[in-house]
Structure 1
Amino acid sequence: MKKSVLIAAVALSFFYGCKKDGAGVAPQQKDSSAFTAYEGRFLEELWKHNPDWATQTGYHKYDSLLLVPNSDNRQKLLTFTKRQLDSLGNFELNTLSEASKIDYHLIENQMQSMQWAIQQQKAYEWDPGTYNLIGSFAYILNEKYEPLEKRLRSFYMKMEDIPAYFKEAEKQIKNPVPELTSLTIDQLTGGVSVFEGDYADSLKKTSIPKDEQKKMLDRAKLSADAIKAYAAWLKDLKNDHPRSFRLGKELYQDKFKYDIQSGSTPQQIFNAATERKKYLHREMAKYSKQLWPKYFGKTPMPTDSLELIGKMIDTLSAKHVQPDDFQSAIAAQIPKLTEFVKSKNLLYIDPTKPLVVRKEPAYMAGVAGASVSSPGPYDKNGNTYFNVGSLSGWPAAKAESYLREYNQYMLQILCIHEAIPGHYTQLVYSNKSPSLIKSVLGNGAMVEGWAVYTEQMMLENGFGGNEPEMWLMWYKWNLRSVCNAIIDYSVHTGNMTKEQVVKMLTKEAFQQQAEAEGKWKRVSVSSVQLTSYYTGYKEIIDLREAYKKKMGDKFKLKDFNEKFLSYGSAPVKYISESMLKVEQKK
């Protein structure tokens, strides 16, 4: 699961405002140069209204600001979105360049999405996690974009309104979702160490005067107390009529429209995923029959194909690392993947952009076991982090189940997906895009779809030595993306239960019990995002085939990959329109 800043920060962006609204444009200016100038003004206004998002995007002008999430600020944000949509109306879309057209669509979608989030979704009333601000403070503390003393002073000023911030949060919450409430309590309790310990440790490394440090530490204590008080308030909150975590069909369709920006509807993706599951089962059965004699000798082969696949996968899953070696095993994969991509000439990987494998920070825990956090487009030289969930303290049976899921085959595929040439590589390209809009308003389905696509691309080009074991395990992995889409739609627009989810994932997707139960937790604290993997993957594969047909003998995989990534993190449907249109003109 990719958790880059450009995606995760959007969730925070809906609820803040500022005094100055909008960035108009002269009606007579309708060409791409005028639109580019407008984009600069739009972004500056966007960051004034969203200082936390700005910080995590690498724009640090407003690092010291924390805006209290009250109704006045939401109204100011609504006014801002309306002014931007009016400004967009001053441009003739057909007179813009292909790149500017995509930016136009992205800005329009983001403004409409913000309006919908405030007026229809209203997650600020039922999702306490909306107010988890620890991530932006941790970013200021940990990223070395400015001298430490300057960052610590920004941190100090930003803390000033934390007590008021959480008092306002308590006023906004109404009948919250229990699952989201529990997750928020866990994340705040784990993440408060940023204020209680990390800030003090950082101050010790500076020459800031002792009396000033005392003031800074006193405010950090007040902040930590406010965070813990909010968590305690949530824990004690009487909630006789909690909102269901199920989004509902109408809200789901709207959220899919704004978040995924697909050329397909949620129902069409669900139908396609259902058919893909059948295809994967057929292919997995073929490989299982081929491998059976190697691992089971003359033992009779099960006649039921799902049982056959399950036994083969269960046998292969026994090969895995030890719990204490999980993170180091991931780190060891990175140079191997880099060398393979270079040797096969699949695409260029910039050696100057660091990738740091680290233990997953506490404030991020509880959603995915592995993720990537990338630097924002304004902070192009920052680190990209491969966050790895810790197995420390897990019961032996739970750890064994988890490691069987991420066995020696799956671990390699995981690293392709999260790092090379998956998320890490794509996000490096995205930050090189001349369009800041495509980086700032990046599309999650494109980002996740690329990561899934690269898994297949690597195997197609011989990664894993074309071993049937690796292909069987990748089909299982791909089945995960497919089932993610099926489950997310079925749970949030219907009544699929935990028992049904776990049964599908363990019996039809061959996942370990721990993985299946973890997915239920994830679908109960998120919505739509789980569809992004399969949706983006399907659209990229479809584009590659259409582009291959268009180019004929001139098609080269490296050219396709790099051309595709050159568009930044734009929705695949717009990249497809542009790539295929360009070739039609030649």
Structure 2
Amino acid sequence: MRLPLVATASLSLVTLMMIAPIASGDGPARPGGDERLQATFRDYLNELFRREPLTATSLGDHSHDDRLDDIEPAARKATLDFKRATLETLSREIDPATLSADGRVDLDIFRNALTRDIWLAENFKPFEEDPRVYGDYTTGSVYLLLTQSSLPKDANLAHAMARMEQIPRILSVARRTITSPPKVVTETAIRQAEGAVAFYTTELFELAGQKPGEGPLGAKAAALVPAIKAHVEFLKKEVLPRAGENWRIGREKFARKLEMELDSGLGADEVLAEARREANRVQREMEVIARQAWGTLFPGKVIPTDDPAGRRELVRRVLEKVADDHGTAETLVDEARATVGDIKAFIRDRKILALPEPDQCRIIAMPEFMRGNSVAYLNPAPPLDARGSSEYAISPPPADWSKARADSLLREYNRAMLKILTIHEAYPGHYVQLEYSNRCPSLVRKVLSSGTFAEGWAVYTEQMMLDQGFGDGDLGLRLNQLKFYLRAVVNAILDHEMHAGTMTDDQALDLLMNRAYQTEGEAVGKIIRSKQSSCQLSTYFVGRMAFYRLRQAIQAQQGESFDLARYHEAALSHGTIPVKHLPALVRRTLALPAEDHKPGL
């Protein structure tokens, strides 16, 4: 179902979809090519969903909501063989010459997604080496049904209880499969498993609107909780003692994985070199802003010396002063909610782009079982069930943190930074972008989305909103925006050096705290995150530069006729695609002549 958008003076999303002709020079497709590709993809999804019911649910297909995956090694190997066979079918049966320009983009996305999945399965062993994956089946499988499915409540509850009966089977596989994972990953898995106990004791019943422990749901939960507690003990007493520090993936794997993750035509060394240059540029800009703010924030005090150490002190002290204005663990979520009204009003008034209506974004406290990887996330409405809701989740400091560490995190997410976070995660960042994406007519693009595009758009919007006047020139807000962007830039450096290099925790802390001005709580969390994932941290910077530089090029080309909302809607109208395709598709939508595009930041 396509939801209407708020009317603006710019192109509506529906219009954008209708005016996308084949780019000049591509030539017409022969009849049937696009249809054959889409049919192949539909057949692939149907079989994949049969094999992976949780994947189906997460994408919004509810035909297997009462089942959980067979995750035994033989079943996982069979799925891998199925993906290899599908890739061979694409090569054999889909001739690119029979496809339209859009069809060739879809083919590229489908083929590269299969190639990436196969390579990852051949080179990594998450079921053996990442016990967090079992949490997706243990808790996420039920949580998704009760929070995002648009099926009737009774159906979702019935499916949830059917899945709860199957969770002990999943945990049995975990006991037989987990080997010697990294310690940092195991510790997060333990915290999340403990959160799962709390979920089936309290949160489950809150979501279901029932009293804890009562009725059939209570009986199912009571039967399941001991199995999850036993899993916690297994992780603590058997897995943790044999866990090691084997979290680096190495230079060769990092380079190949990053190439496939970004799908932008850039190599790992190119990204690292550009990130270092950009970090220096952003630091200089922060120094200028801090110098402007000093006199107001520190009246009568002498500004620090104008040398490298003095400039770092200048920026740090101004940031610390702005950070004095922060909430508490109890108010963090409510204060994020309070930022939304002003941000949405600004987007409408300044014609940034058309906001999706009705607004389906809920702002929630991150469930305990999902904490441990990031402070906030946007869980979007599933692309195949666009009537479902999206969740902008914020994590208060974990309960087991010391007061000093918790205060450090709250200072990091002060009231100015919360506004930037809400821009990034929700308006006009992830929530708005993914609502547009869910309206894209291509099934391939609905399902196979690019993290580089999604993160890049969200980071791009932070500066764009302030450049258009949000915050009325508040220097503290601008400095936090630059700090948030610097974090994205430094993420790429950290990602590379932690997995393709030999960076130590102390060196990482120095990079994050002294180079990127992060508080200790945020820095420690980012180091933990960098050890638990690879290549994802680079997507923010690479994606943002793709959006920013394309915007600059098109604005310069159009001059006075440039319409910001029209550009934004054109950029979002083609789905969450690899950024390498963005220039040609946006230029086509805006009826601009195609330009030779070379990969690069």
Common fold, TM-score beyond 0.5?
yes
SS in structure 1 at match of 2:331: helix
Deviation at 1:196, TM superposition (A): 3.7
Contact 1:52 1:63 (C-alpha < 8 Å) held by counterparts: yes
Q: Deviation digits for residues 142-175 of structure 1, max 9, x if unmatched?
A: 3352222222222232234322222222222221
Task: Say whether residues 1:338 and 2:344 are aligned partners.
Answer: yes
Letter in 2 for 1:413: I
SS in structure 1 at match of 2:295: helix
- Distance across 2 between alignment mates of 1:202 and 1:452: 32
Match of 1:448 in 2: 455
Q: Which moved more, 1:351-360 or 1:240-249?
A: 240-249
| 1:204-215 paired onto structure 2 within 5 Å | 205=210, 214=216
Going from structure 1 to structure 2, the CA distance change for 1:497 and 1:96 (only over 3 Å counts) comes to: same
Q: 2:163 aligns with which of 158, 161, 172?
A: 158
Match of 1:297 in 2: 299
Q: Which moved more, 1:569-578 or 1:473-482?
A: 569-578
Match of 2:47 in 1: 45
| 1:253-268 paired onto structure 2 within 5 Å | 253-268=255-270
- Distance across 2 between alignment mates of 1:316 and 1:219: 49
Q: Deviation digits for residues 40-80 of structure 1, max 9, x if unmatched?
A: 22222221222101111111001111123122112211221
Match of 2:119 in 1: 116
- Distance across 2 between alignment mates of 1:405 and 1:197: 30
| 1:198-277 paired onto structure 2 within 5 Å | 198-199=203-204, 205=210, 214=216, 217-237=218-238, 239-240=241-242, 242=244, 244-277=246-279
- Distance across 2 between alignment mates of 1:363 and 1:485: 27
Deviation at 1:126, TM superposition (A): 0.8
Match of 1:388 in 2: 394
Letter in 2 for 1:583: L
Going from structure 1 to structure 2, the CA distance change for 1:205 and 1:196 (only over 3 Å counts) comes to: closer
- Distance across 2 between alignment mates of 1:160 and 1:222: 9
Q: 1:397 aligns with which of 398, 404, 408?
A: 404
Q: 2:128 aligns with which of 112, 125, 130?
A: 125
- Distance across 2 between alignment mates of 1:98 and 1:466: 43
Contact 1:138 1:194 (C-alpha < 8 Å) held by counterparts: no
Task: Say whether residues 1:475 and 2:482 are aligned partners.
Answer: yes
Letter in 1 for 2:326: H
Going from structure 1 to structure 2, the CA distance change for 1:201 and 1:278 (only over 3 Å counts) comes to: closer
Going from structure 1 to structure 2, the CA distance change for 1:228 and 1:105 (only over 3 Å counts) comes to: farther
SS in structure 2 at match of 1:324: coil
Letter in 1 for 2:359: K
Task: Say whether residues 1:488 and 2:495 are aligned partners.
Answer: yes
Going from structure 1 to structure 2, the CA distance change for 1:395 and 1:71 (only over 3 Å counts) comes to: closer
Match of 1:584 in 2: 593
Going from structure 1 to structure 2, the CA distance change for 1:432 and 1:308 (only over 3 Å counts) comes to: same
SS in structure 2 at match of 1:357: strand
- Distance across 1 between alignment mates of 2:556 and 2:207: 56
Q: Which moved more, 1:421-430 or 1:189-198?
A: 189-198
Deviation at 1:197, TM superposition (A): 4.1
Q: 1:355 aligns with which of 354, 361, 374?
A: 361
| 1:170-209 paired onto structure 2 within 5 Å | 170-199=175-204, 205=210
SS in structure 2 at match of 1:237: helix
- Distance across 2 between alignment mates of 1:112 and 1:226: 37
Q: Deviation digits for residues 465-501 of structure 1, max 9, x if unmatched?
A: 1233322221111111111111111111111111111
Going from structure 1 to structure 2, the CA distance change for 1:233 and 1:241 (only over 3 Å counts) comes to: closer
Task: Say whether residues 1:418 and 2:425 are aligned partners.
Answer: yes
- Distance across 2 between alignment mates of 1:548 and 1:95: 34
Contact 2:59 2:382 (C-alpha < 8 Å) held by counterparts: yes
- Distance across 2 between alignment mates of 1:459 and 1:338: 13
Task: Say whether residues 1:534 and 2:536 are aligned partners.
Answer: no
Task: Say whether residues 1:548 and 2:555 are aligned partners.
Answer: yes
Match of 2:3 in 1: none
- Aligned length in residues: 553
Letter in 2 for 1:58: G
Letter in 1 for 2:109: L
- Distance across 1 between alignment mates of 2:322 and 2:145: 44
Q: Deviation digits for residues 108-137 of structure 1, max 9, x if unmatched?
A: 122112211221112222111122111111
Contact 1:117 1:123 (C-alpha < 8 Å) held by counterparts: no
Letter in 2 for 1:95: T
SS in structure 1 at match of 2:364: strand
- Distance across 2 between alignment mates of 1:268 and 1:473: 27
- Distance across 2 between alignment mates of 1:98 and 1:374: 28
- Distance across 1 between alignment mates of 2:370 and 2:132: 11
Contact 2:450 2:578 (C-alpha < 8 Å) held by counterparts: yes
Match of 1:282 in 2: 284
Deviation at 1:106, TM superposition (A): 1.8
Identity %: 30
Going from structure 1 to structure 2, the CA distance change for 1:250 and 1:456 (only over 3 Å counts) comes to: same
The alignment's TM-score, normalised by the length of structure 1, stands at 0.89
| 1:55-74 paired onto structure 2 within 5 Å | 55-74=57-76
Q: Deviation digits for residues 543-567 of structure 1, max 9, x if unmatched?
A: 2123234434432111110011001
Letter in 2 for 1:385: E
Deviation at 1:342, TM superposition (A): 0.6
Match of 1:143 in 2: 148
Going from structure 1 to structure 2, the CA distance change for 1:200 and 1:241 (only over 3 Å counts) comes to: closer
Q: Deviation digits for residues 316-367 of structure 1, max 9, x if unmatched?
A: 2212234432211110111111100011101000230322111111121111
- Distance across 2 between alignment mates of 1:157 and 1:281: 54
Match of 1:80 in 2: 82
- Distance across 2 between alignment mates of 1:160 and 1:575: 45
Deviation at 1:250, TM superposition (A): 1.9
Q: Deviation digits for residues 288-342 of structure 1, max 9, x if unmatched?
A: 2222222233433222221221122222221223443221111011111110001
SS in structure 1 at match of 2:345: helix
Contact 2:52 2:68 (C-alpha < 8 Å) held by counterparts: no
Letter in 2 for 1:230: H
Match of 1:506 in 2: 513
Q: Any gaps of 5 or more consecutive residues in structure 2?
A: 1-29, 596-601
Going from structure 1 to structure 2, the CA distance change for 1:200 and 1:418 (only over 3 Å counts) comes to: closer
Q: Deviation digits for residues 361-397 of structure 1, max 9, x if unmatched?
A: 1121111111111110122111111111124755443
Deviation at 1:432, TM superposition (A): 1.0
- Distance across 2 between alignment mates of 1:35 and 1:254: 27
- Distance across 1 between alignment mates of 2:361 and 2:538: 27
- Distance across 1 between alignment mates of 2:253 and 2:483: 31
Going from structure 1 to structure 2, the CA distance change for 1:376 and 1:400 (only over 3 Å counts) comes to: same
Contact 1:121 1:251 (C-alpha < 8 Å) held by counterparts: no
- Distance across 1 between alignment mates of 2:68 and 2:406: 40
Contact 2:127 2:133 (C-alpha < 8 Å) held by counterparts: yes
Contact 2:259 2:265 (C-alpha < 8 Å) held by counterparts: no
Q: 1:379 aligns with which of 367, 385, 404?
A: 385
Deviation at 1:286, TM superposition (A): 1.5
Contact 2:574 2:585 (C-alpha < 8 Å) held by counterparts: no
Task: Say whether residues 1:105 and 2:108 are aligned partners.
Answer: yes
The alignment's TM-score, normalised by the length of structure 2, stands at 0.87
Q: 1:564 aligns with which of 553, 566, 571?
A: 571
- Distance across 2 between alignment mates of 1:388 and 1:510: 21
Deviation at 1:445, TM superposition (A): 1.1
